[in-house]
Amino acid sequence: MANQDEPVGDRNPAVALVPSQNPDPVGDVGQAYVDSRRQLVAQVMDLFRRNLASNYVSTVNGPYYTLQFQALAERIADFQITASLVFRDAEYDLVRSEYLWETLGALVFPTSSVREGGLPVIDGDKLYRDFLRGMVSCLLQGATKASIAEGVGLLTDETVTVVERFIDARTPGSEWTTLDTFAFDILVEGLSGNPFTLRDNVEKVLTALRPAHTIFTYANLLRDEFSTPTGDAYSWALDQYGYEDTRRYCGGAEAVRGTAGVTTASERNTLTDLTRTFANVRVDAVLKVTAGPNAGAVRRVASVRGLRVSTDSVARSYTTTPTGLTGTAVVVGGDVVDPAQDFSPCVDGEVFTFSSGPNAGSYRMSVLLGNAGGPVGTAVGPCVGFRVAPCTLVLDRSLVPATGQTYAVGVDRLGVRTPQVVVAEDASIQFWT
């Protein structure tokens, strides 16, 4: 049994409920509320006293019956104030901030909850109120491109672009196909505010606005701007290399030709000519042998090679011809290096020969390395290293071992151009008369 001395007016049964059960967890505070409550309580008490029998004559709170009337009057006053506030909550412009979500947000995001973190994060009562009202307008427009762009625009002042991939796929050359029929992109220019919060908010807005069968991507577009225009001038040149190659050097535009092709028994799928460089020969170029044991053979170039192995840390003995330099050298990253040698006296066409190791054999020296380096025969030196010229063609099929072979390998970038003679055909129909 409750203690009768306990002030009845100070008890609120709702405080026994947990916050998730209490239908009105927000308490009314402020001087305006206190004054309004006091006036209502006085009016109710006056009405009670005027309707009492003549033997209840007390005009001040003191007797027990007046305390009971006081408690009842306070509850009636609370109910009247709450009812008036609830009546105003029906208007989205007047609803109390504490009940924005219950009265408006739950209509826009019915599957979201505070506990699951499913609410958009927006600071400020007015901003949140305007956002929810804008979302109602977007929902009434339906799941359209315009409503989605407007919904995302409620979260940021930056420019928002919605790209419908299935529409863009109709443009010739578009990167999108029919596989992107149900996908669209949200592009926001700039990074105003917290970009991660904006991304999460956009995801929640699109969950409410986008069609259920679609998927989307989100990205921030960043642009570089120059405050002061540059004064540099620019120019460009269009080059038709077929004409230019022929005009500059007719012999080299079609093929590299030689008469000293060598195919060894140990590497029958190669052809080496130390008097030529195959730097401009491309993969799948055509090699034709015109004289020698392999005359008439036609092969495709699989690759062009200089050294067999690009790295050999063991110092190997070597000699050069015709300069006659000797010593030991290592191979580092495709370069031949001898710290104790100066290769600057070498002449154009100098042949370097390893006597042992995986690169055993002869190679044509191409470029001397270092600050004082350059093409062989022109470098001032000293130079302790050099790079060999690619003088070996690796072929798709084997040849018969031979030396002194006459050959031609194509270097035209669109293939060898061979005239085609056509007879017994009237070409006049191809011309205007």
Mean pLDDT check: name the lowest of 33-47, 258-272, 297-311.
33-47
Peptide bond preceding 358 in cis form (omega within 30 of 0) = no
* pLDDT at residue 28, as a whole number: 64
Note the maximum CA span of the chain: 145
* pLDDT at residue 221, as a whole number: 84
DSSP assignment, residue 279? Answer: T
Give 63's pLDDT tier (boundaries 50, 70, 90). Answer: confident
* pLDDT at residue 75, as a whole number: 87
* pLDDT at residue 281, as a whole number: 86
Q: Residue 304 pLDDT > 90, yes or no?
A: yes
pLDDT in tens, 95-146: 666 666 666 777 777 776 655 556 778 877 778 778 888 888 888 888 888 8
* pLDDT at residue 97, as a whole number: 66
- Residue 384's contacts (CB-CB under 8 Å, 6 or more residues apart) are 337, 338, 339, 340, 341, 342, 343, 369, 370
pLDDT in tens, 341-370: 989 889 988 999 999 999 999 999 999 988
* pLDDT at residue 169, as a whole number: 81
SS3 352: strand
Domain range summary for the chain, segments of one domain joined by +: 29-89, 97-221, 255-303+394-410, 312-389
Give 319's pLDDT tier (boundaries 50, 70, 90). Answer: very high
Q: Which residues of 137-147 are buried (b: 16+ CB within 10 A; e: fewer)?
A: ebeeeebeeeb
Model pTM score:
0.41
Average pLDDT of the residues of the chain? 79
Give 301's pLDDT tier (boundaries 50, 70, 90). Answer: very high
CB 219 within 8 A of CB 195: no
CB 216 within 8 A of CB 210: yes
